[in-house]
Structure formats: C-alpha cells, structure tokens
Amino acid sequence: LLMPGPVLQTAIQPVWVQDLADAIALDVRDGASQGPGLHRLQAVGETALPMGEFIASLRRQLGHGPAWQCPMPGWMVQASAWLGDQVEASPWCHETLGMLGTPNTGDVSALRARLGRALLPLDQFVDKAWRQG
C-alpha cells in the first residue's frame, strides 16, 4: 500500500454509513417541523485512528493479512500533487494533499445523542455491510 505519508498517518474517525444516514433522516424529519435552517453535527465515529490503521482494520475484517504500508517519498508526493495542480479537473493536487493531511476527528457525543443509541463499532463495519448488502 503505497500512499502519501500524511494520508497514512492522519487521524480519522470513520462513521458507519447507516449511522450517518439515520442522523440525516432525523434532521430532515425534525427540520420540517422546525422550519428552514441549517443544523451542524460532527459526523464522526467512535474510534480515532490513522488512515493506515483503518485500512488494516478493514483488511482484518475481510480475513486478509496486513498490507505492507509504505509512505511515498516526499519528493514523489510533491511532484504528483504539482502535476495534479496542472490539470484543471484533477482530484489529486496540493489542496487535496493538504485536506487529507489534516486530522478529521471530533466529539462523537452529539451524534450519539442525536441517534439516541451507540454507533456501530469500527470492527463490525464489514460484517454489517455483508449482512445488509
């Protein structure tokens, strides 16, 4: 698994898609009775971990061994981002690198309270996806 170092190492808090969908449905339902307006809620899961560990967790859940993880050399990351900057519609550029290198974590308590229940634990994501899919 060859990825930019900041992407492998940046902390994220994955949230199960159904937990997110349920929170949005509640907001839509309750928003109709409260009138127009914006509602902000941190959509984060229970576990904060680096992206590389998240990928490793998904592989374990699928019964695979750990992937060999290797951060791309810095010069390669910068050169590829520069090339992406030159292509107008490229999804990979310095802006994307900066975004993926910024921790994406928050306080899960508001989402838990909004749902009125615990969120699906990370170690159950794959099992739940196969049972529902």
Q: Which residues pair with 72 in a beta bridge?
A: 4
Which of the two residues, 131 and 7, has the higher pLDDT score? 7
pLDDT digits (tens, 9 = 90+) for 59-96: 999 999 988 899 999 999 999 999 999 998 889 999 99
- By the 10 Å C-beta count (0-12 exposed, 13-18 middle, 19+ buried), 92 is classed as middle
Tokens of 109: 């308590």
What pLDDT is recorded for position 39?
65
Q: How far apart are CA 37 and CA 21, in angstroms?
A: 19
Q: How many whole angstroms separate alpha carbon 98 and alpha carbon 52?
A: 17
